[in-house]
Amino acid sequence: MKPKITPTGKEISLTDDDIIVSKTDLTGRITYANRTFMRIANYSERQLLGIQHNIVRHPDMPRGAFKLLWDTLKSGQEFFAYVFNMTSEGHGYWVFANVTPDRDANGKVIGYFSVRRKPKPAALDVVRPIYKQMLEIEKAAGAAKATDASIRFVQDTLKGLGTDYERFILSI
Ligand SMILES: Cc1cc2nc3c(=O)[nH]c(=O)nc-3n(C[C@H](O)[C@H](O)[C@H](O)COP(=O)(O)O)c2cc1C
């Protein structure tokens, strides 16, 4: 079960050498976590294996970001995103994540794979206000319409800039 953790408002940073790796099954349950993941998120392997990856979800992350993640993975594509996660103590930590489908020898998707590293501070200056705005839009839209409303905001904004999600994320 997902523990109830109160965010502390404190942020911790990855170092340039920290690479956080995890694997999940098709439903997002963790099947592998490397040592760096356990150290930064402050969970033991036993606390992570078999548990939904939302165990590290921070409430400040807009739901639309995860809808984009799952829609992209389900279409067989890889996904790049800046994600604000939460440790077992309630501290926040930013990562730049590359999530990919994990395939067997026949090319069948058997789960997902995520590799995360320290984000560039300049990129976070761009992403923080976008996520803040997405969260506000989600709150105003109400639960049922939240993700659609915030994704529409992101897509309209990117269209206005003459770009799309992946090009934008990889350019900041
Ligand atoms: C391989 C993989 C890695 C993921 N990594 C994270 C992560 O680091 N943080 C996170 O909040 N969600 C991550 N997710 C998404 C979660 O499965 C989940 O969709 C998200 O936390 C939202 O959860 P909720 O809708 O239950 O609130 C990952 C999913 C996959 C498939």
Kindly state the average pLDDT of the residues 108-117: 98
> Cα–Cα distance between 131 and 85 in angstroms, integer?
13
Residue 141 has pLDDT above 90, yes or no: yes
pLDDT in tens, 82-91: 999 999 999 9
Q: Please, are residues 63 and 69 in contact by the beta-carbon 8 Å criterion?
A: no
Instruction: Name the amino acid, one letter, at 32.
Output: Y
The confidence band for 1, taking pLDDT boundaries of 50, 70 and 90, is low
Which residue has a Cα nearest atom 31 of ligand 1? 28
99 HSE (CA, 13 A, CB side): 27
Pairing of strands 20-24, 109-117: antiparallel
What phi, psi does 127 have (nearest 5°)?
-75, -40
Q: How far apart are CA 35 and CA 43, in angstroms?
A: 10
CATH architecture of 16-171: 2-Layer Sandwich (3.30)
Q: How far is the CA of 115 from the centre of ligand 1 (A)?
A: 13
- The residue behind tokens 């809808």 is 67
* CB of 87 sitting under 6 A from ligand 1: no
Which of 51, 54, 114 has most ligand 1 atoms within 8 Å of CB, for mutation? 54
Residues forming beta bridges with residue 111, ordered by sequence position:
102
Whole-model pTM over 0.85: yes
| Whole-number Cα distances in Å, 158 to 25, 53, 66, 130, 161 | 31, 28, 18, 11, 5
Q: Enumerate the domain spans of the chain.
A: 16-171
Q: Which of 29, 31, 42, 57 to mutate to test the pocket of ligand 1 (most atoms within 8 A of CB)?
A: 57
pLDDT band at 3 (very low <50, low <70, confident <90, very high): low
Q: Is 66 in the pocket of ligand 1 (CB under 6 A)?
A: yes
Which among 113, 115, 58, 123 is positioned nearest to 85, based on CA atoms? 58
| Secondary structure letter of residue 89 according to DSSP | T
